[in-house]
Amino acid sequence: MSRRIIETQLEASEKPSEVDGYLDKIMKYIPSETVGVWITIKTMIEGNNDIPQSAVLWGIFIFCLFLTFAYIRLLPSESKDKPSIKQAIISVGAFIVWTIAIGGEPFRAISWYHPVYGSILMILYTAFIPLIPLEQPKLS
């Protein structure tokens, strides 16, 4: 399965392509690979008291933001088209929301942070993002 979200289908195309539905879009927007990287590194760091955990995790968080954008944009695709910049930005947003929902360090240091806010935000963001059109509708 390609990471590129397909919203329109060309009738004259040699190879038929399926238009992505709501659930397909959710799976393609959420960067599960970088969320997995975050969880793995976060678990390793939280188990080590000899390092400044919050500072290291903020650095890893920022690195993962760039990694998510680059991964979505540069990922090989079955078609000649790469995922759009808009899709990559939405995936970066999904990474942010999912890491806040996972919680713990480094977000505990933010005064207004409460784990339930991250969980609510994750549900709402994940439910909303498939409704965002990537392509401009063409007027006839």
Give the pLDDT of residue 1: 58
10-residue mean pLDDT profile of the chain (140 residues): values are 70 64 90 95 90 93 96 73 84 95 89 90 94 69
Total-model pTM: 0.84
ω into 106 cis (within 30 of 0): yes
Give the pLDDT of residue 134: 78
Give the pLDDT of residue 119: 94
Give the pLDDT of residue 48: 86
Domain edges within the chain: 22-131
Q: Which of 35, 34, 4 is nearest to 18 (CA)?
A: 4
